[in-house]
Structures are given as structure tokens and as C-alpha cells.
């Protein structure tokens, strides 16, 4: 990345020159957070330390022991069971925005394979990983640390391999890293089918036509982010991922046994513990727009941990970016009593806004009428 661009971007975010230098030095290693661990760091570099006012503000938020809902998808072919699932799905999408699914049809061998493949990619020889290191958001497969490194106020303790199928829907095996190629192809195919099923159910739960969200091609554009969170020497001072909402219609998350995901529910941070064989699903920004605020996209984060590495794979279903497709609140949900809350938009417009700001700043307000 051109240094003048880095400096210009960082300065706009109010980042001082010393921080810019530290960010650039970290980025230039192309080794990510894992590289710091491999070098034997015993304390956090300052670019990862959250500011004191942020830590104080956190004290105003409580922690909840609430149990995140679990939806069992078995029996969706039978009328009675489908109705029960739809009622449950409607409630959790309106009130929680987060839920876990079991009996979703993806074999445990495929889930385990994706976790293992992600771990192998991040733990392979550093020189091999560097071939994929890039901050070009249009690159189909890239490896980086912190997508918003030069825009955020503080860096997060994680590295990421991204498989970007937003601008090209085809998955060409040879474009994927050989070390995780087979497991990634299997997982991409299975989780896309699950997303199509979920969009059908969500359409019914919204009370619109059963094929409405599918007709919008919500599951067409996809981005897979394969996160690696090394064990952290000072987890209380940083985060794995800052609080944010997701730039998508729907997110399906695969996480290993360590956990660390939390979302904001009734102004309390609530843990989303992993279930063996289960997946986490959350409503994302674009579905909140299309549902005209009926379904909620919730802020969430990942805490850092002394235990690690933690592995997770999030699939963002983002819709159609190319050619441009216009999205807007579903007409069936609009009336004189419930006017549209949001204006028309394209995925390209939404993503441009996303890549222009830190991830902890919501993009929803930008699209409100």
C-alpha cells in the first residue's frame, strides 16, 4: 500500500503520526498477530491497547447469563414442525437477532474439516502465507490482519484469510490455497445450501412470499472470513473483534470449542457459546433494511483470550453487487402505518460505505430516510 494513502487514511481517522508508523511497521511484516506470538511478545504492542475511556465506558454495560436460543431445523418438511420453527425463527429474529441452529444438514466432518483447514492455513510457513497477503478488497483470496487496520482507533488481536465471492460467484478450486482447498470447497457448497433454506424460512417468518428473499438473490454474493485468534498475553486490554454489526443480509458462523463471541442484548453483553455440530446465525444490516426494522441486526464482538488459538469461519451473504441490483424495504411490509425507514441502495454503495469507516461504526444510519 502506498505510504501516502496510508497516512492520508489514518490522519482522517485522527490517528497520530507515531501510530501510523507502528501500524505500517506491523503491516509490512505480513506476518500478522501470529507473527508477534512467534517472535515471543510477552505484552501487547500499543496499537492493540484499547484507550482508557473505552475501557471505562465498558463498565456501564452489564453481562447477561441469558441462554441464546437454539433452533432445531429437523422436520421442516412437515407442516406442523415447519410452523413451529417459523414461529420460533420470527421471535428470535425480532427480539434477539442471534440464534444457534442444529440438525442443519451439514455433516460434522465438513465442519471439522473447515476448522482444521483454517488452522492449517494460518499455521503454515510464514513465507507461504505472505503470497496471499493483501489489502485489496477485490482480490478473491487474501490474507491480512485487521481489515480496518488504518481506519480503526485500535487494532484487534486476529488474522484473517478471506475468500471473496462477492464480485465473482464462481469458486475455482485452483484459486484457493492448496493446504485448505478441499475443506473450503466442501464447506462453501454446504453452507450456501443452508443459507438458501434459511432465506426461505425467513421470508415466511416475515410474512412475505416464501421465495421473496431468494428472488432477491440474497445468498448469491458471499464472503468467507476465516479468522485465527492467537492466545493473547493481556486479553483484558484488547479485543479479538471490536463491537460491530455485519455488512450482509445474513451471517452463518462456524466456531471451534473455545468460544469468545458476544452480542449486545438488552444492553448487556451475552455469550454465544459453541454447540458441538451447531452453527451460529445472526441477522445482518441488509436484512434489517429489507425487513424495514422488523428483524434486528445486533452489535457483537469477540473477546481476546489467554487460551488459543481460537478458530472461526464467518460466511456473510451479501446479495448481488455486479451487475448492480437495487434493494429496498419489502413492499409487503410497507403501509401508511409502517412507512419505509430506509431508502433504496445497492450492495456496492453499502460496501463502499463499509470500507470507508472503522467496523465499530454502524452503517445503517447512512441509509435511513
Instruction: For residue range 224-241, list pLDDT tens digits in order.
Output: 999 999 999 999 999 999
Average confidence (pLDDT) over 172-187: 96
pLDDT over threshold 90, residue 339: yes
Question: Looking at the domain covering 3-367, what would its CATH class be?
Answer: mainly beta
Confidence of residue 58 (pLDDT cuts 50, 70, 90): confident
pLDDT digits (tens, 9 = 90+) for 269-284: 999 999 999 999 999 9
Residues near 87 by Cβ (< 8 Å), separated by ≥ 6?
none
Q: Which residue has the higher pLDDT, 46 or 361?
A: 46
255, 261 in Cβ contact below 8 A? yes
Average of pLDDT values for 356-364? 85
Residue 272's pLDDT is: 97
Residue 170 in this model has a pLDDT that exceeds 90: no
Q: How far out from the chain centre does Cα 209 lie?
A: 27
Mean per-residue pLDDT for 116-135?
97
pLDDT over threshold 50, residue 13: no
Predicted pLDDT at 197: 96
204 has pLDDT over 70: yes
Domain ranges in the chain? 3-367
Percent of the chain topping pLDDT 70 = 96
Tell which residue, 291, 36, 277, has the closest CA to residue 146. Answer: 36
Pairing of strands 261-265, 268-271: antiparallel
pLDDT of residue 357: 84
- Residue 107 C-beta-side C-alpha neighbours within 13 Å: 6
Percent of the chain exceeding pLDDT 90 equals 81
Quote the pLDDT of residue 6.
44
For residue 8, give the C-alpha cell: 492520508
Position 26 scores a pLDDT of 98
Question: If we measure between CA atoms, which residue out of 287, 299, 297, 285 comes closest to residue 244?
Answer: 299
| Surface-to-core class of residue 208, CB atoms within 10 Å of its CB (0-12 exposed, 13-18 middle, 19+ buried) | middle
In angstroms, how far is the first alpha carbon of the chain from the final one?
Answer: 36
Contact 282, 263 (CB under 8 A): yes
37 CB-contact burial (10 Å; exposed 0-12 / middle 13-18 / buried 19+) = middle
User: Is it the case that residue 182 has pLDDT exceeding 50?
Assistant: yes
What is d(CA 134, CA 90) in angstroms, rounded to the nearest whole number? Answer: 40
Amino acid at each position: 500500500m502506498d505510504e501516502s494513502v496510508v497516512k492520508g487514511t489514518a490522519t482522517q481517522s485522527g490517528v497520530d503520526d507515531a501510530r501510523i508508523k507502528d501500524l505500517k511497521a506491523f503491516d509490512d511484516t505480513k506476518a500478522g498477530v501470529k507473527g508477534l506470538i512467534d517472535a515471543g511478545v510477552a505484552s501487547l504492542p500499543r496499537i492493540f491497547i484499547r484507550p482508557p475511556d473505552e475501557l471505562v465506558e465498558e463498565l456501564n454495560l452489564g453481562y447477561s447469563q441469558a441462554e441464546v436460543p437454539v433452533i432445531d431445523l429437523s422436520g421442516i418438511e412437515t407442516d406442523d414442525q415447519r410452523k413451529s420453527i417459523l414461529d420460533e425463527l420470527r421471535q428470535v429474529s425480532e427480539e434477539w437477532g442471534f440464534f444457534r441452529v442444529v440438525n442443519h444438514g451439514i455433516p460434522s466432518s465438513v465442519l471439522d474439516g473447515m476448522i482444521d483447514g483454517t488452522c492449517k492455513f494460518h499455521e503454515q510457513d510464514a513465507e507461504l502465507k505472505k503470497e496471499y497477503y493483501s489489502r485489496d478488497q477485490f482480490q478473491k483470496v487474501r490474507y491480512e490482519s485487521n481489515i480496518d487496520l488504518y481506519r480503526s482507533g485500535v487494532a484487534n488481536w486476529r488474522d484473517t484469510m478471506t475468500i471473496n465471492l462477492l464480485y465473482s460467484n464462481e469458486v475455482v478450486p485452483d484459486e484457493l490455497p492448496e493446504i485448505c482447498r478441499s475443506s473450503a470447497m466442501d464447506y462453501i457448497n454446504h453452507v450456501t445450501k443452508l443459507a438458501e433454506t434459511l432465506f426461505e424460512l425467513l421470508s415466511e417468518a416475515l410474512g412475505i412470499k416464501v421465495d421473496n428473499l431468494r428472488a432477491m438473490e440474497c445468498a448469491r454474493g458471499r464472503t468467507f472470513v476465516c479468522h485465527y485468534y492467537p492466545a493473547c498475553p493481556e486479553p483484558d486490554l484488547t479485543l479479538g473483534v471490536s463491537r460491530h454489526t455485519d455488512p450482509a443480509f445474513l451471517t452463518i458462523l462456524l466456531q471451534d470449542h473455545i468460544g469468545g463471541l458476544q452480542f449486545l442484548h438488552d444492553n448487556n453483553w451475552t455469550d454465544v457459546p459453541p454447540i458441538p455440530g451447531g452453527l451460529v446465525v445472526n441477522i445482518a444490516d441488509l436484512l434489517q433494511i429489507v425487513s424495514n426494522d422488523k428483524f434486528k441486526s445486533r452489535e457483537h464482538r469477540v473477546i481476546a483470550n489467554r487460551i488459543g488459538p481460537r478458530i472461526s469461519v464467518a460466511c456473510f451473504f451479501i446479495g448481488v453487487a455486479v451487475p448492480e441490483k437495487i434493494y429496498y424495504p419489502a413492499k409487503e411490509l410497507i403501509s401508511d402505518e409502517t412507512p419505509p425507514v430506509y431508502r433504496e441502495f445497492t450492495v456496492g454503495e453499502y460496501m463502499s460505505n463499509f470500507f470507508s469507516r472503522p467496523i465499530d461504526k454502524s452503517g445503517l444510519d447512512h441509509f435511513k430516510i
